[in-house]
């Protein structure tokens, strides 16, 4: 197997890690005004993702860095063409992350409400725009023979792209509700589980429509199989949630999101950024890649350090595995 194919697969794995882990982060943030009835319950939700959110975002940093090093032409065209959506995502992530650090710094209801709003908006914007970006990436965008993006922001806001954004938004909300039901106890746990079933039904309808549309446009036999299994995993997750099996329910949404990302990358391969102007102008794993020497060095680095990162993150989740309830939250200082 060529190293370009290996690194395309590794980048796909990094995005799987980011969306499956950061996805429930976004979901919990968006559900803050829905699930929490008072400040103590809001603090419960903050504490469910407080120990892990920053580690989850590392997957995004590594995915961006790996794309820059392994496929520099892909990185250049993607970040110049999708500049405004990616800038909005970056700003939303910055504001969102500040909410974790600054919400408790002042004893003021207005102060806390402001940072709660930052968390909600900072979770909503990336959840929507990542779906829009990936849908357009798979469907193809106007790229000329010089590998330059020739469209605008409104080019990306097409029906297929917007449906992709709605799907990621709904899946992350459902994923976040499943995680909340898994990590909390008491009334908030039961409300989260019930909400996960309701939002999951809507997410399932939207996801099936989007994945079927993707398959008809650019799909392969491999992506078709993966999409079907992803849909079945989501249905199994909803059944598990309805039965009160929160661990299996969360596993189901985790698998659903992961397989959906895998299917999108299978539908994309061997392109990394197809051109809607001409197939000849598309960026592929061959014409967008770095030199073989660069890919060889990167491969050895990945072989050495990736297991260490996975072990550390697994250990952190194990340490913070216990459920959180209202009675665990101390009185505000």
- Beta strand spans in the chain (E): 271-273, 283-284
Contact by Cβ (8 Å): 54, 190: no
DSSP code per residue over 247-307: HHHHHHHHHHHHHHHHHHHHHHTTEEE-BSS-GGG-EETTTT---HHHHHHHHHHHHHHHH
Is residue 256's pLDDT more than 90?
yes
Rounded alpha-carbon distances, angstroms, from residue 193 to 20, 76, 119, 196, 200? 18, 42, 21, 5, 10
Is residue 72's pLDDT more than 80?
yes
Rounded alpha-carbon distances, angstroms, from residue 15 to 9, 265, 271? 10, 10, 16
pLDDT at 97: 92
- Give the total number of structural domains in the chain: 1
For residue 316, the tally of other CB atoms under 10 A from its CB is 13
On whether residue 11 sits in a domain, the answer given is no
Render pLDDT for 171-227 as a digit per residue (tens, 0 to 9): 999 999 999 999 999 899 999 999 999 999 999 999 999 999 999 888 888 999 999
On whether residue 8 sits in a domain, the answer given is no
Q: Which two tokens stand for residue 296?
A: 């060889």
Render pLDDT for 127-181 as a digit per residue (tens, 0 to 9): 999 999 999 999 989 999 888 888 888 888 899 999 999 999 999 999 999 999 9
Distance of CA 245 to the CA centre of its chain: 24
On whether residue 316 sits in a domain, the answer given is yes
Contact by Cβ (8 Å): 89, 123: no
Rounded alpha-carbon distances, angstroms, from residue 149 to 141, 208, 223? 7, 30, 26
- What is the distance between the alpha carbons of residues 115 and 312, in angstroms, rounded to a whole number? 30
- What is the distance between the alpha carbons of residues 80 and 48, in angstroms, rounded to a whole number? 36
Is residue 252's pLDDT more than 90?
yes
State which residues form the domain around 137.
26-325
Contact by Cβ (8 Å): 153, 279: no
On whether residue 3 sits in a domain, the answer given is no
Contact by Cβ (8 Å): 262, 16: yes
The residues that bridge with 184 in the sheet, in sequence order, are 324
On whether residue 51 sits in a domain, the answer given is yes
Render pLDDT for 275-320 as a digit per residue (tens, 0 to 9): 989 888 899 999 889 989 999 999 999 888 888 888 988 898 898 8
On whether residue 7 sits in a domain, the answer given is no
Is residue 327's pLDDT more than 80?
no
Vertex 216, ends 214 and 220: CA angle to 5°? 80
On whether residue 10 sits in a domain, the answer given is no
Read off the pLDDT of each residue in 46-68 and give the average, rounded to a whole number.
90
On whether residue 232 sits in a domain, the answer given is yes
Is residue 332's pLDDT more than 70?
no
For residue 269, the tally of other CB atoms under 10 A from its CB is 17
């Amino acid at each position: 197997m060529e190293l370009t194919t290996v690194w395309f697969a590794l980048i796909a794995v990094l995005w799987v890690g980011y969306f499956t882990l950061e996805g429930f982060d976004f979901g919990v943030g968006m559900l803050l005004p829905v699930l929490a009835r008072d400040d103590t319950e809001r603090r419960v939700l903050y504490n469910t993702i407080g120990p892990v959110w920053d580690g989850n975002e590392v997957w995004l940093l590594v995915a961006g860095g790996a794309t820059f090093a392994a496929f520099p032409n892909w990185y250049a065209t993607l970040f110049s063409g999708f500049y405004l959506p990616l800038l909005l995502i970056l700003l939303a992530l910055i504001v969102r992350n500040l909410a974790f650090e600054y919400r408790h710094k002042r004893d003021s209801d207005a102060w806390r409400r402001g940072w709660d709003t930052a968390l909600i908006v900072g979770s909503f914007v990336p959840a929507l725009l990542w779906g829009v970006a990936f849908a357009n990436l798979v469907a193809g965008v106007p790229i000329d023979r010089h590998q330059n993006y020739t469209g605008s922001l409104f080019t990306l806001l097409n029906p297929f792209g917007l449906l992709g954004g709605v799907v990621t938004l709904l899946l992350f909300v459902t994923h976040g509700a499943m995680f909340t039901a898994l990590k909390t106890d008491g009334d908030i746990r039961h409300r989260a589980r019930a909400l996960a079933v309701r939002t999951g039904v809507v997410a399932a309808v939207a996801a099936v429509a989007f994945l079927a549309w993707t398959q008809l446009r650019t799909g392969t036999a491999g992506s078709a199989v993966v999409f079907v299994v992803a849909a079945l995993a989501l249905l199994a997750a909803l059944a598990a949630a309805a039965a009160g099996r929160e661990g299996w329910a969360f596993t189901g949404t985790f698998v659903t999101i992961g397989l959906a990302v895998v299917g999108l990358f299978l539908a994309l391969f061997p392109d990394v950024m197809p051109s809607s102007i001409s197939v000849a102008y598309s960026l592929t794993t061959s014409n967008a890649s770095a030199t073989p020497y660069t890919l060889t060095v990167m491969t050895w680095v990945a072989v050495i350090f990736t297991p260490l990162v996975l072990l550390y993150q697994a250990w952190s989740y194990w340490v913070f595995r216990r459920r959180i309830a209202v009675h665990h939250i101390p009185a505000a200082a």
